[in-house]
Amino acid sequence: MTVVFWKELADHFSSRRFMILLALIVLSGLWATYATGQAIRQNTDTVPSQYVFLLLLTSSGETLFSLATFLGFFGPLVGITLGFDSISGEYARGTLSRVLSQPIYRDSLINGKFFAGLTTVAVLWGSILLLVIGLGITLLGFPPNAEELWRMLIFTVVGVFYVGFWLALAMLFSLLFQKTVTAALASLSVWLFLSLFVSVVSGAIAGMVVPDATTPEAIARRSDVENIVGRISPSTLFNESVGILLNPAARVFGMALQSQAEGILPTPLALGQSLNLIWPHITTIFGLVAVCFGISYIIFMRAEIRA
């Protein structure tokens, strides 16, 4: 497996595709951070004194996206790009049967490819965060504290697995459709649906379940239903967990009624408490990765390899 892993890793890092992605993400990431950093510098009085580094990731300043939103949106694209031709590409080149007629177990190939993809994502994500931290120190003039670093680290892990889900999905499609283009299109359409249209769908369903939303309770219920339906999409899961993880002050997902919010102290949550809130989200993301990869694994192990 290590042989396949290193070969795939080398392929990823030297591919033109990866260069383009890297340039795109690094440039826009730097730009977003810089803009946010400038905004924070200019409005020092409105900025909370704690967790300024996390603000660098989550506030959008004068730009369109915050860095976290940006990564949540483009992360899947990275996963799909790395995965959509992993198996179908080997089919198309006619290399699959040659590789599999070597004395390796079949799963070494698919495992090697998956972990190489995951490693690539981790390197990408990690380097962006490091860049942001570096730029942040220059802009703000002080380093992040331990709590912020921990939160960023967990953010990275969650993010890598979130992208890993899309990688696994793209690999599954590349296995199901032996044509590279079909696999790419299928993954992209699932991505578009799950990240853009799911909010429309969940809104519609919530509207049907709670048709008459006039009282505050009904409005809150409708919003709850909307949230729950929305969580079928890993994008929602990711965005919600990032919202909690990178914003220690956040303590609920949707709306809270006045009565529920009563008595809450406006202090930041400890890391453990924030994590408690998003455990289900994180486990679901991990589970989705495992399920997607598991299906590909089973199909691949039983597939007939005809070049």
Partner 1 sequence: MSAVVETKDLSKRYREKLAVNSLSLTVQEGEVFGFLGPNGAGKTTTILMLLGLTEPTSGEVAVCGFNPSRQSLDVKRRVGYLPENPGFYDDLSARENLLYMARLNRIPEEEARRRTAEVLDQVGLSDDGRRLVKEFSRGMKQRLGIAEVLVKKPTAIILDEPTLGIDPDGAIRILELIKNLNREHGLTVMLSSHQLQQVQQICSRVGIIVRGKLIVQGKMDDLGKAILKERQWNFLLEATGNTDGFERELQSISGVDEAEKRAHGWFLRCTHDVRTEVVELVARRNLKLLQLRSEDPTLEEIYLKYFREA
| Interacting residue with partner 1 among 101, 138, 267, 283 (CB under 8 A) | 101
Contacting partner 1 within 77-96 (CB under 8 A): 92-95
The site string for partner 1 over 160-199 (x = CB under 8 A, - otherwise) reads ----------------------------------------
Min CB(164)–partner 1 separation in Å: 25
107 sits near partner 1 (criterion: CB under 8 A): no
The answer to whether 267 contacts partner 1 (rule: CB under 8 A) is: no
Q: Please say which residue, 68 or 116, places its beta carbon nearer to partner 1.
A: 116
If we measure between CA atoms, which residue out of 256, 261, 264, 251 comes closest to residue 216?
256
- Of the candidates 240, 160, 146, the one whose C-alpha atom is nearest the C-alpha of residue 198 is 240
Closest to partner 1 by CB, 99 vs 149, is: 99
Tokens representing residue 182 in the block: 């079909």
Q: How many CB atoms lie within 10 A of CB 287?
A: 11
> Which residue, 94 or 266, is less far from partner 1 as judged by CB?
94
Contact string (CB under 8 A) for partner 1, positions 269-288, x = contact: --------------------
- For position 299 contacting partner 1 by CB under 8 A, the verdict is no
Binding segment for partner 1 among 22-30, 36-44, 101-109, 208-216 (CB under 8 A)?
Answer: 101-109
Q: Is 104 in the site for partner 1 (CB under 8 A)?
A: yes
Q: Binding partner 1 by CB under 8 A: which of 46, 103, 212, 263?
A: 103
Which string of b and e fits 217-235 if b means at least 16 CB within 10 Å? eeebbbbbbbbbbbbebbb
Task: Figure out which of the listed residues 105, 192, 196, 217 binds partner 1, where binding follows CB under 8 A.
Answer: 105
Letters for 108-127 (x = contact with partner 1 by CB under 8 A, - = none) are: --------------------
Count the neighbouring beta carbons within 10 Å of the beta carbon of residue 135. Answer: 17
CB 99 to partner 1: min, Å: 7
Q: Which two tokens stand for residue 24?
A: 């795109």
187-192 contacts: CB < 8 A, separation 24 or more? Answer: 187/80, 187/83, 187/84, 188/80, 191/76, 191/77, 191/80, 191/166
Q: How far apart are the first and last CA of the chain?
A: 21
Q: Which of 102, 214, 215, 258 binds partner 1 (CB under 8 A)?
A: 102
Quote the tokens at residue 145. 């504290």
Examine residue 304 and tell whether it contacts partner 1 (CB under 8 A): yes
Distance in Å, CB of 95 to partner 1, minimum: 5
Q: Which residues bind partner 1 (CB under 8 A)?
A: 3-4, 7, 92-95, 97-105, 304-307
